[in-house]
Amino acid sequence: MRSSDTDFTDFHGFRVPIRVNQCNPCLSSFVFIRVHSWFSSAEFMTTAANQPAPPLLEVEAGSSLWHDAWLRLRKNKMAVGSAVVLALLSLACFVAPFASPYTYEGQDLALGASAPSAKHWLGTDQLGRDQLTRLLHGGRVSLLVGLAATAVALLIGVPYGAVSGFFGGRVDAVLMRIVDILYALPFTIFVILLMVMFGRNIWLLFAAIGAVEWLTMARIVRGQVQALKKQEFIEAAQALGLRRRRIILRHMVPNVLGPVIVYATLLVPAVMLLEAFLSFLGLGVQPPMSSWGLMIKDGADRMEENWWLLIFPGATLAATLFCLNFLGDGLRDALDVRASKD
């Protein structure tokens, strides 16, 4: 075996890389300690029996899965960079209304559409409204919709999937049949109908998008809970006589949390995209409020004369989606979640 060969061991469904090195005993013992301090799995302890007995206390002092994931995430430069950009952008969006000398609806008709300048950094639109202010203001809407709709999806999807996975049997069959049927509906079409028919109300937008996006979340949670139920450590916890509540809170929830966090992070850009799409069609946020989709629509209508009205909102939206996707991918790698299990 070459020294660079990487092997994988299974730990509760998480694949843990171990570097195996047979020519260098010093290194393999180092690896041994590292793996050892990572986890305290029973499976591992049996292998440990052949090695010089390690002090048991060290096992307890090992870093948790979360700490470990954090270390791995920190090493991922793209993910960290994305997180920083997102943090700065959100900060700017929420501080902007207090810091900017302009308001999002304040018009300056005499000025009209003007190219970026020292006074208006990103130019103004045809009504003379400062684009940077509108962009940041629209960012509040976009980010809020992203977060709120994801929260709705979490609120419905997680309990639904958990109940389905935990109780299994007939409950599971019925609940999952419903999800299957809902999956087959062309949902974007229904969201469009809903927005056209029942006024373009931002709360309805949250609810509509959230109601569409919980399905995959429910499936992921169900798969995870089902797999967990069969794991030995849950059985062991039951054998030890732990209460059901403690088993769920202490042993199930932390293990389900990883995939949920990863999927939620990837859900936010999807939701933002849907909001921008609806606003672009004139179905989301209504003027004079601003949202990125709405600004892109205005920009697309006037791109011949005023290119900056299309480029800046478009680039901002794309960059945000880029960062969110990278962060989601980074989290997935860090928590080592494999794609949904169905």
Partner 1 sequence: MFRFILRRVLQTIPVLFIIASLTFFMLRFAPGGPFTQEKNLPPEIEKQLRAAYRMDLPLWRQYLLQLGDWCRGDLGVSTKHLNRRVSEVIAKHAPVSAQLAVWALLIGLVVGVPAGVSAAWRPNSALDYLPMSCAMAGICVPTFVLGPLLALVFALGLKWFDPSGWNDPKDMVLPAITLGAHVAAYIARLTRGGMLEVMSQDFIRTARAKGADARRILVKHALRGGLLPVISYLGPAVAGLITGSFVVETVFNIPGLGRYFVGAAFDRDYTMVTGTVLFYAVLVIGLNTLVDIVLVWLNPRLRLE
Which positions touch partner 1 (CB under 8 A)? 181, 184-186, 188-190, 192-194, 196-199, 269, 273, 276-277, 280-281, 293, 296-297, 299-300, 303-304, 307, 310, 314, 317-319, 321-322, 325-326, 339
User: Please, what is the minimum distance in Å from the beta carbon of residue 137 to partner 1?
Assistant: 19
User: Please, what is the minimum distance in Å from the beta carbon of residue 155 to partner 1?
Assistant: 22
Q: Is 338 helix (H, G, I), strand (E, B) or coil?
A: coil
Distance between CA atoms of residues 154 and 160, nearest Å: 10
Distance between CA atoms of residues 279 and 195, nearest Å: 10
User: Please, what is the minimum distance in Å from the beta carbon of residue 111 to partner 1?
Assistant: 23
> Which ranges of 187-281 does DSSP label H, i.e. alpha helix?
187-197, 202-229, 232-239, 244-246, 253-280
Sign of the Cα torsion 178, 183, 188, 190 reads negative
Structure tokens at 146: 């992203």
Looking at the Cβ atoms of 151 and 196, the one nearer to partner 1 is 196
Looking at the Cβ atoms of 27 and 202, the one nearer to partner 1 is 202
User: Please, what is the minimum distance in Å from the beta carbon of residue 266 to partner 1?
Assistant: 11
- How far CA 134 is from CA of 28, 200, 236, 237, 272, in Å, comes to 58, 19, 57, 55, 17
Looking at the Cβ atoms of 252 and 327, the one nearer to partner 1 is 327
The secondary structure element, H or E, covering residue 296 is helix 292-301
Sign of the Cα torsion 129, 133, 138, 144 reads negative
Distance between CA atoms of residues 284 and 62, nearest Å: 49
User: Please, what is the minimum distance in Å from the beta carbon of residue 304 to partner 1?
Assistant: 6
User: Please, what is the minimum distance in Å from the beta carbon of residue 315 to partner 1?
Assistant: 8
User: Please, what is the minimum distance in Å from the beta carbon of residue 78 to partner 1?
Assistant: 10
| 162 phi, psi to nearest 5 deg | -65, -45
Looking at the Cβ atoms of 209 and 237, the one nearer to partner 1 is 209
Distance between CA atoms of residues 247 and 256, nearest Å: 13
Looking at the Cβ atoms of 166 and 326, the one nearer to partner 1 is 326
Cβ proximity of 309 and 131 under 8 Å: yes
Distance between CA atoms of residues 69 and 213, nearest Å: 26
User: Please, what is the minimum distance in Å from the beta carbon of residue 179 to partner 1?
Assistant: 12
User: Please, what is the minimum distance in Å from the beta carbon of residue 174 to partner 1?
Assistant: 14
Cβ proximity of 299 and 210 under 8 Å: no
Looking at the Cβ atoms of 102 and 146, the one nearer to partner 1 is 146
Looking at the Cβ atoms of 10 and 58, the one nearer to partner 1 is 10
Looking at the Cβ atoms of 202 and 319, the one nearer to partner 1 is 319
Looking at the Cβ atoms of 18 and 319, the one nearer to partner 1 is 319
Q: Is 2 helix (H, G, I), strand (E, B) or coil?
A: coil
